Structure 1
Amino acid sequence: MSFVMPVLNERDYLERAVASTLAQEVDGPVELVLALGPSSDGTTELARAIAAGDDRIALVDNPDADIPVGLNAAIRASRFPTIVRVDAHSELTPGYTKRALATLDRTRAANVGGVMRADGRAPFQRAVAAAYNSPIGLGGGAYHGGTEETDAESAYLGVMRRSVLDEVGLFDETLRRGEDWELNLRIRAAGYRVIFDPALSVTYWPRESWSRLLRQFLATGRWRGELVRRYGARNSARFFAPPALVGFIAAAAGTGLLRIAGPFSRAGTLLAGAILIPVALYAIVVAAYAVARRPASLRERLWSIAVIPTMHIAWGAGFIAGVARGARDTIDTSRLDGRNTPLP
């Protein structure tokens, strides 16, 4: 069993991620290959110290910090026929790998994934985690809360057959985000199954500050726009909801400025009202979600009012830019600036 993990500025999370990985109970030998990006918070030194104490851990370099490049380097350096992708910002639950292997064999799938269970430490991160776990936050994809085993368009992280990865060509190194969705698209196009199993669960720790969340979602949205440019209608319709929201907000702001400049005709007033209705409904839904959260502190609820629109608007704005101009060299800078600084 080969676990592969890209790592960049994860000093606060790496030890627990590695421990949860190596604690997995599987039949046969296990290895963990860490692809080390150019961290600035001491992560590389920590990784080397951990690896020095455990011969199951191998290290490879990922100097450009691109996730698909690091994943491919780790896969090429691995030795075993099953690949388990692990995120340094996550923790595998006990029994995850054993269950995934059973599902992989039973369904004869090429890739199996489960539920991303976001969690948080400080109020801000808990607000982000709640948004991740809610259909309101990330649009209701299966791995954010599905309850039935089913064929899926993609898988969170994934437990994959090495033979299939070799056949379809590993991760696309021209993508900096969305590489998992694109890989699973090729897996399915080659005639293999991708399975979502709700019994599999991974704890994910979201970004710890508003600025990092904003940068993450801008970059992610832009790369989704790039994927739309490349693959068109094969992208899910739900990906178009955030850019539609941005369009309505921009239109509402424009009509507001026009209203200030001069009176509207009756038809113009009706049109302005029609534009404002979706924006008003969205604001009501976000406020109702924040108020209804149980259990949650007042600070978490207030953060929710900021977090949900940040995720949607940043992602939607990035998406529009990506469709219009492509992602080009867009990178997710939310983990490039050193040590984590959680908000209160």
Structure 2
Amino acid sequence: MTWPAVSVVMPILNEERHLAAAVRHVLSQDYPGELEVVLAVGPSKDRTQEVADSLAAADPRVKVVANPSGRTPSALNAAIAASSHSIVARIDGHAMMPSDYLRVAVETLEETGADNVGGIMAAEGETPWEQAVAAAMTSKIGVGNARFHTGGEGGPADTVYLGVFRRSALDRVRGYDEAFLRAQDWEMNHRIRQTGGVVWFQPRMRVSYRPRPNVRALARQYFHYGRWRRVVARQHKGTINLRYLAPPVALVGIVLGLVAGFFFWPAWLVPGAYVLAVVGACVPLGGGLPLSARAAIPVALATMHMAWGAGFLTSPPSLGADSRTARAQQQAA
């Protein structure tokens, strides 16, 4: 086959430690076609801008563009606009892809006719806490049946991790909606599918992911995931399912059970059953992990569930009100 040229776009913010290695991973890909890397650099608090500029000065395949807002969807749109090629791959500034990542992606695009292909967000931890979160993030009890977390057979999917796109699809949906500070990938993949495109999960595309380093950071991450997933559900009717409703339902049931238990003790069976479920989950999930990591798995699961549920339940109607879909709905009304 004739290998198409690929533009790799990277939103960059505070990535001084990882940026040079991430770019090296891209430029050393086992890919026969032409490559370029576009770094959209936000206002970082470290030496990220200097590192990016030095990478561009050292290799003509690397280009740097500004992202004054520092927001991920704005960075992606700026990098896409500055890129040149018919295939566009989104990569994060600290991602370490396998050497055949782009080759497999382009082969899959050609074989399936899909508009976007992506693979597995392979969570891997170094500390016991990170190992516990990684186990939770790659399990169905932690994240439901999302294949880009848990793996599975290749095929059409609602969304995938990162993504390698046909530029024609990005042009068709006008790129990322910059109002979505979270869930921007899910939202854009939904629009790609709504306009007749196919999003394809390819399990051979694995990208290592480092989980949040402590409970507070994990809770903040999943709280915002829940808030923005509620925005997607409000604006794109019919996109919600039991997997997304489970955490808020569990949170409401636990809170009501704890309160009602003071008046009717059997109500305490509801939070008790949840505790038993997450504790029991650490047995199959903790295989091969040290005891300290296995003991932390229930904490990681509960943090993910409760924070996501709280974010979903408290998501304000004003969140995402400036998005394209919200504006179109207001104009139609």
Per the TM superposition, whether the score is higher than 0.5 is yes
Structure-2 separation of matches of 1:126 and 1:40? 28
Structure 1 residues 130, 42: closer, same or farther in 2, change over 3 A?
farther
1:31 aligns with 2:36: yes
Query: What displacement does 1:328 show?
Result: 5.3
Q: How does 1:115-264 map to 2 (within 5 A)?
A: 115-256=120-261, 259=262, 264=263
Q: Out of 288, 299, 303, which is 2:280 matched to?
A: 288
Which residue number corresponds to residue 18 of structure 1?
Answer: 23
Structure-1 separation of matches of 2:230 and 2:294? 31
Structure-1 separation of matches of 2:11 and 2:220? 19
CA contact (8 A) 2:123 2:137 kept: yes
Q: Which has the higher relative contact order, 1 or 2, with Cα contacts under 8 A spaced 6 or more apart? A: 1
Runs of 4+ in 1 over 4 A off after TM superposition: none
CA contact (8 A) 1:225 1:321 kept: no
**SS of the residue aligned with 2:212?**
coil
Q: For residue 192 of structure 1, what is the amino acid of its counterpart?
A: G
Query: What displacement does 1:253 show?
Result: 2.4
Q: TM-score, normalised by structure 1?
A: 0.86
RMSD across aligned positions (CA):
1.8
1:308 aligns with 2:313: no
Q: How does 1:88-99 map to 2 (within 5 A)?
A: 88-99=93-104
- Which segment is superposed worse, 228-237 or 69-78? 228-237
Aligned length: 315
Structure-1 separation of matches of 2:270 and 2:20? 45
Q: How does 1:55-70 map to 2 (within 5 A)?
A: 55-70=60-75
Structure 1 gaps of 5+ residues are: 330-344
Structure-2 separation of matches of 1:11 and 1:280? 45
1:9 aligns with 2:26: no
**SS of the residue aligned with 2:32?**
coil
Q: For residue 226 of structure 1, what is the amino acid of its counterpart?
A: V
Q: For residue 92 of structure 2, what is the amino acid of its counterpart?
A: D
Structure 2 gaps of 5+ residues are: 1-5, 322-333
Structure-2 separation of matches of 1:129 and 1:38? 30
Percent identity of equivalent pairs: 40
Structure-2 separation of matches of 1:189 and 1:288? 40
Query: What displacement does 1:326 show?
Result: 4.3
CA contact (8 A) 1:150 1:197 kept: yes
